[in-house]
Amino acid sequence: MSRLGTIGARLYRGEIGYDFVAKRKFWYAVSILITITAIVGLAVRGLNMGIEFKGGAVFTTPKTSVSVAQATEYAEEASGHIAIVQKLGNDTLRIQVSDLDTAAASKAKIQLAQDMKMDPDKINSELVGPSWGEQIANKAWTGLAVFMILVVIYLAIAFEWRMAVAALIALIHDLTITVGVYALVGFEVTPGTVIGLLTILGYSLYDTVVVFDGLKEGAVGITKQTRFTYSELANRSLNATLVRSINTTVVALLPVAGLLFIGGGFLGAGMLNDISLSLFVGLAAGAYSSIFIATPLVADLKERDPQMKALKKRILAKREAAAARGESPDGEDSDQYDESGEYEDALPGDVAPAGAGAVVSPRNDRGRGRSSGRRR
């Protein structure tokens, strides 16, 4: 087994782990700082909306030796507006100029052809109205609202309302960060960006649901044991799926990183940037939020429940008593076996404390760590 596989197995069994839930205030602070930065960037710089949303003209030239920088200068002089030029295959250029009507676009096309020394009839021009972009934006907002509502309903039914609330906050966190990054780097927002934003919601939710599923299974009958608080059980469930979450995120990020950094950056295929940046940032933010935001939030909300408060009080009292006797509160000298010899602290479903989700038989676990294996 590889080193990573060994670490993953030990995390699953609960032999090692990082206490994410106990350090949740630190990660909350980090998330709040990142979110504030994203919101400030959005408020100060705003989004660089593409021509599909603002309206304007798109000129596609035939094969030319004119550089991107020179074409940008020609287009801005001809139109009087800021132009975005992208180099396409076969040395053709795509020139976008916002806020041009039909008459202004025709004049700009003629002037551009003269400056670039080519036939105006060979330059393909398209006019885009802002109303079309407004329709796309409205449909995107509608789709986003419907998705959020369905997610909350599904999670509330399949799990519980606290998990639905935590997942919703994590999704909003991911969207805010992604949109803020677009504002900070100045990448153009196109319909491809909208598609990317809607796509990352599913990825963001995937890891969160995996952890929630393990937590739901492990928390069945949690009040009947006195070994783990809900927060501790949540942390064990999170550690049990940690390597899986990291692996799936890395595998998903690699091709997206190729599109963004190699295709969009090194090879200059700028049209790939709009969707690849949203996917890259969204995937990373989704993995982060499922680990550091969603599960700790569920633990916070659940610990407010009177039953969970009573359970925590019993567990802390038991640990204090064990410490006073010089015993390990969760060790073999604690009340692990009842009078019938059954494992007293096992959760229903025979979930062993060795790892969240690890199923063993309490009877087969009898006497583990004791030379005699006698019942207490």
Q: For residue 215, give the CATH number of its domain.
A: 1.20.1640.10
Burial of residue 141 (CB within 10 Å: 0-12, 13-18, 19+) is exposed
Pairing of strands 48-49, 188-189: parallel
Question: Torsion-angle region of residue 352: left (phi > 0), alpha (psi -120 to 50) or beta?
Answer: beta
**What is the residue whose two structure tokens read 């803020």?**
180
| Residue 347 included in any domain | no
Do 293 and 287 touch, CB atoms closer than 8 A?
no
Of 128, 147, 168, the residue at which a domain comes to its end is 128
**Residue 347 vs residue 78, higher pLDDT:** 78
If asked whether residues 97 and 136 sit together in one domain, one would say no
If asked whether residues 103 and 30 sit together in one domain, one would say no
Do 85 and 93 touch, CB atoms closer than 8 A?
yes
If asked whether residues 154 and 203 sit together in one domain, one would say yes
If asked whether residues 39 and 146 sit together in one domain, one would say yes
Report how many domains make up the chain.
2
Q: Is the pTM of this model over 0.85?
A: no
Do 194 and 55 touch, CB atoms closer than 8 A?
no
Residue 342 confidence (pLDDT) = 35
| DSSP percent split of the chain into helix, strand, coil, nearest 5 | 65, 10, 25
Of 72, 103, 128, the residue at which a domain comes to its end is 128
Residue 185 DSSP code:
H
If asked whether residues 164 and 246 sit together in one domain, one would say yes
If asked whether residues 74 and 164 sit together in one domain, one would say no
**Taking Cα atoms as reference points, which of 68, 71, 82 lies closest to residue 112?**
71
Per-residue pLDDT of 82-109, as tens digits, reads 888 877 767 788 888 887 777 888 888 8
- Cα distances (Å, whole numbers) of residue 113 to 85, 104, 333: 15, 14, 88
Which percentage of the chain shows pLDDT scores above 90?
Answer: 9
| Residue 319 included in any domain | no
If asked whether residues 8 and 150 sit together in one domain, one would say yes
Mean pLDDT of 304-319: 88
* Domain enclosing residue 88, as ranges: 56-128
Q: What CATH number does residue 99 fall under?
A: 3.30.70.3400
If asked whether residues 60 and 39 sit together in one domain, one would say no
Task: State the greatest distance between any 2 C-alpha atoms of the chain, in Å, as a whole number.
Answer: 97
Of 102, 128, 154, the residue at which a domain comes to its end is 128
**Taking Cα atoms as reference points, which of 114, 127, 126, 112 lies closest to residue 73?**
112
If asked whether residues 98 and 142 sit together in one domain, one would say no
| Residue 311 included in any domain | no
- What is the CA 358 to chain-centroid distance, rounded? 27
If asked whether residues 115 and 137 sit together in one domain, one would say no
| Residue 118 included in any domain | yes
If asked whether residues 164 and 209 sit together in one domain, one would say yes
Do 282 and 204 touch, CB atoms closer than 8 A?
yes
**Taking Cα atoms as reference points, which of 213, 192, 179, 224 lies closest to residue 343?**
224
Per-residue pLDDT of 345-363, as tens digits, reads 444 333 333 333 333 333 3
If asked whether residues 33 and 137 sit together in one domain, one would say yes
Per-residue pLDDT of 138-177, as tens digits, reads 887 888 888 888 888 988 898 889 999 999 999 999 999 9
| Residue 336 included in any domain | no
